[in-house]
Amino acid sequence: MGKMHLLSLDSEALGDFTAELGEPRYRSRQIREWMLRHFETDFERMTNLGKKLVEKLKETAEVSILTAKAMQVSKDGTRKWALATQDGHVFEMVLIPTENRRSLCVSSQIGCAMGCTFCRTATMGFIRNLTLGEILEQILLASRFLKETDGSRLSNVIFMGMGEPLHNLENVARACETLNAEDGFGIGKSHITVSTSGIVPRIREWAARAPDFKLAISLNGSNNDMRSSVMPVNRRWNIEALMDAADEYIHLTGQKLTFEYILIQGKTCTPEAARELRRIASQRNCKINLIPLNKGEDPALQPPSEEEILAFEAILKQGDFEVLRRRPRGPDILAACGQLAIPLKKVA
């Protein structure tokens, strides 16, 4: 039997685990505090646990199961880690520092099944879901890195790394709860965002399961032909079906929804597309995040010029909703939106 990955246990289950080791329940609270507040992974350094418990934990449990294979730093300060799992797969996470924020873009799956044409992760295909513990360990590793380098704390977590988070819904929901919990990482609900490609039934499920966290939907096309050409998911659930689910989500949760919209020259970034997008956004409580394409391998997909983006923005801004443009972070290390991918599937 392998060792228990303690990050995959919620407080209740961790209490049961320490009880099985013959320890009182308050010990689980101490362990949780070491992991989620001090980002400690070494039982020897959990100084208030007592020698006997430390020995038992070393035999039966572990806090860290991921191995950092590589870390790249962009000239804009963005950092990308390649993390290896115990079964030999590799996935990535990206830490994006700005003046007053420390945002972590986490992965929810290894690879992805959704096949979006502008996204390098799609080329990996779907390998497997990350476990709850593997998701939370990304937050622990980034938090520890910040603590040890500039003493700052993680302010935002976005599920926009590898994978479709709503295909790993329960683990992502539980991770969000631990991120937010007072005895967890203590990150505010409004600073935790999950981004979906538009799995309609799962949007409804998410609204019921985790209504307090932020949801972003990758729209990426203003009509069905356009969206289907970049996101195969649109052939299963078209824009009309997606907007029905979006409206239900807004109604049920009372939250403002974010639509992500990728700008591709001559395709999604045209004046007509801007007018169509304005029509969609004007009808609902939402904001639009514009993401100029980060160049991938497909020569047919090019980022628009600055003039084209400005013209697109000008049309959108005639609407009564918020429009933001996301500046690319870490494109020189392939850390920006749509650029995460691991060429090899298994490591030794």
Amino acid, res. 74: S
Least CB distance to ligand SF4 at residue 123 (A): 9
Burial of 253-290, coded b for 16+ CB within 10 Å and e otherwise, reads bebebbbbbbbbbebbbbeebbebbbebbeebebebbb
Binding mask 278-307 for ligand SF4 (x = CB under 6 A): ------------------------------
C-alpha dihedral over 172, 175, 179, 181, to 10 degrees? 120
Q: Is there binding between residue 315 and ligand SF4 (CB under 6 A)? A: no
Residue count at the site for ligand SF4 (CB under 6 A)? 12
What is the crossing angle of helices 132-149 and 169-180, to 10°? 40
Would you say 79 or 120 has its CB closer to ligand SF4? 120
Binding residue (CB under 6 A) for ligand SF4 from 116, 154, 277, 286: 116
Q: Which residues are catalytic?
A: 92, 337
Site for ligand SF4 in 320-339 (CB under 6 A): 338
Give the binding range for ligand SF4 (CB under 6 A) out of 38-46, 116-124, 131-139, 277-285: 116-124
Would you say 139 or 216 has its CB closer to ligand SF4? 216
Q: Is there binding between residue 6 and ligand SF4 (CB under 6 A)? A: no
Least CB distance to ligand SF4 at residue 162 (A): 6
Would you say 91 or 185 has its CB closer to ligand SF4? 91
Site for ligand SF4 in 184-203 (CB under 6 A): 197
Binding mask 134-163 for ligand SF4 (x = CB under 6 A): ----------------------------xx
In the complex, which residues of this chain contact ligand SF4 (CB under 6 A)? 112, 114-116, 119, 121-122, 162-164, 197, 338
